[in-house]
Structure 1
């Protein structure tokens, strides 16, 4: 279906939803200038300003608030109708937008994303990585990947990996002249590589053994918010690190890293694909769901 007749309305709703032209343009796959032109053209035809613009902010005018409140439900119905018709396609088409964390993206990239593109070369995939949990519908995503235990209750979830395990590791050079920790509280006398979460808080390392759960705010000289940098730091001997086991499997096998506190780091439920519950998922998402189920381990 040709969407040219809808783009101006979609542009206005996207700018209102995202509070700015740049983010809205990314959601719609347009340039900021094209989006601004679409909004301006609609305002010119209506004879009113839908947005009050300054150099620092964009906000709906009174007329804009009324317009968006009436147009948004109509657009949602149009998109539902398009998706319903899409059920009759033999092959998916369009762009599949996925959101996940960087670590999860590494796990799904080759077996799912690249395989999906091989099977459906007419499809495009936009994979956005961020540590914060987002609203899939509000931010314009078709689906996402997150740990099963953290998924919203109103989402449909398709398990992909059965379990994931975070382990404590350190470089051989780090352990020279140091005793290896035997229980989690021993970490209080070690240097650790700490992680700042998207909320701004420092992550407290979590352990469990025979029903006993321990949470420790570990000390350390380095705080990072990006896992690949943490990986580099632990290999360099900066300190100990709590990291997903599959991320450092090759380093453990090659002796570049040593695992400690093995009996205090049990596995926990793994990744799931999740998406909003709808009457019908579009063909592009249905095809991806089928692939996730096929490749689930």
Structure 2
């Protein structure tokens, strides 16, 4: 910003035709004015002013720079004014990323509702299960499952109560041995999510202080959570996914919940950004909207699962 300030001092000095008058107008010392002009002249390797004891006038290079600098500074000031005017308004473009399953099956519809409430907002959405590098990529916010391992990131909770659930289609389960205990999954085709070299095939369950982790296997795995979900709906096997992702299919009985007497792994979901300055009124409005949607969606799913569990016990 020092170079920009020096350019502003140059324009004001040319306008006043005097170091001392420019210093008075800018409320700085003449020495500060002289130092700023000298820095510019050194950087450009030209003389900007012809100085004498009684007068100060621009060189031809100084006149050329004055014309361009005046336009540039005016444009910059207009941009600053525009930012100041819109800081308290809800609008503008949000560039965001989200997991594929959550993004396609929930977020798209919710963003449509959000845009109807706030028509001045536009959204650029990237759907991928790979973790976007928010420091290198032009993404304002990311929706992520799990607590971000990078403590420098700002993480706003969307639904911390969310957990995973094991489920499969009724047609698949009718043809296979019953699943009453976590270890029964060993005899089943389990559909796994794989990211880079990590396979999500260690499924954990807890009950009455005991914990069981089953290493599952199956014929299908994918680096896309939505693909794994779709295989399950085709009756290809058992999945162990977020309740948020599977809630619609559970309630519509396309998928049947399993092992409801066991507690499953937590699967919290957050809205993440690299800097709190990204959290303007627009992103705050989006966070509150998505948090409400996630909580309502999970609450409906939990009510269904509770009723389903007790109906089985009856």
TM-score normalised by length of structure 1: 0.61
Shift of 1:269: 5.1
Shift of 1:296: 6.2
**Residue in structure 2 matched with residue 109 of structure 1 by the alignment:** 108
Shift of 1:97: 0.3
Asked whether the 8 Å contact 2:143–2:269 carries over to 1, the reply is yes
Deviations 1:10-63 (A, max 9, x none): xxxxxxxxxxxxxxxxxxxxxxxxxxxxxxxxxxxxxxxxxxxxxxxxxxxxxx
**Residue in structure 2 matched with residue 35 of structure 1 by the alignment:** none
Shift of 1:96: 0.8
Q: Does 1:207 align with 2:204?
A: yes
**Residue in structure 2 matched with residue 234 of structure 1 by the alignment:** 232
**Residue in structure 2 matched with residue 170 of structure 1 by the alignment:** 168
Shift of 1:222: 1.6
Q: Does 1:86 align with 2:103?
A: no
**Residue in structure 2 matched with residue 277 of structure 1 by the alignment:** 275
Q: 1:168 to 1:84 in 2, by over 3 A?
A: farther
**Residue in structure 2 matched with residue 223 of structure 1 by the alignment:** 221
Deviations 1:208-256 (A, max 9, x none): 3134444333121222233333233223322222122343334334443
Shift of 1:126: 0.5
Structure scoring higher RCO (CA < 8 A, sep ≥ 6) equals: 1
The match for 1:288 among 270, 283, 286 is 286
Deviations 1:119-143 (A, max 9, x none): 3323220011111212213101111
Asked whether the 8 Å contact 1:204–1:215 carries over to 2, the reply is no
**Residue in structure 2 matched with residue 38 of structure 1 by the alignment:** none
Give me the whole-angstrom Cα distance separating, in 1, the residues matched to 2:160 and 2:178: 30
**Residue in structure 2 matched with residue 245 of structure 1 by the alignment:** 243
Q: 1:172 to 1:281 in 2, by over 3 A?
A: closer
How many aligned positions are there? 217
**Residue in structure 2 matched with residue 258 of structure 1 by the alignment:** 256
Deviations 1:170-201 (A, max 9, x none): 2223233532122222221222222222x232
Q: 1:95 to 1:127 in 2, by over 3 A?
A: same
Secondary structure of 2:159's partner?
Answer: coil
TM-score normalised by length of structure 2: 0.58
Say what the alpha-carbon RMSD is for the aligned residues. 3.2
Give me the whole-angstrom Cα distance separating, in 1, the residues matched to 2:101 and 2:175: 32
- Give the gaps of 5 or more residues in structure 2: 1-75, 296-314
Give me the whole-angstrom Cα distance separating, in 2, the residues matched to 1:168 and 1:147: 17
Secondary structure of 1:263's partner?
Answer: coil
Secondary structure of 1:137's partner?
Answer: coil
Q: 1:211 to 1:109 in 2, by over 3 A?
A: farther
Asked whether the 8 Å contact 1:104–1:146 carries over to 2, the reply is no
Asked whether the 8 Å contact 1:159–1:271 carries over to 2, the reply is yes
Give me the whole-angstrom Cα distance separating, in 1, the residues matched to 2:265 and 2:178: 22
Asked whether the 8 Å contact 2:99–2:225 carries over to 1, the reply is no
Asked whether the 8 Å contact 2:93–2:124 carries over to 1, the reply is yes
Deviations 1:99-149 (A, max 9, x none): 1212332433333x2233223323220011111212213101111111242
**Residue in structure 2 matched with residue 152 of structure 1 by the alignment:** 150
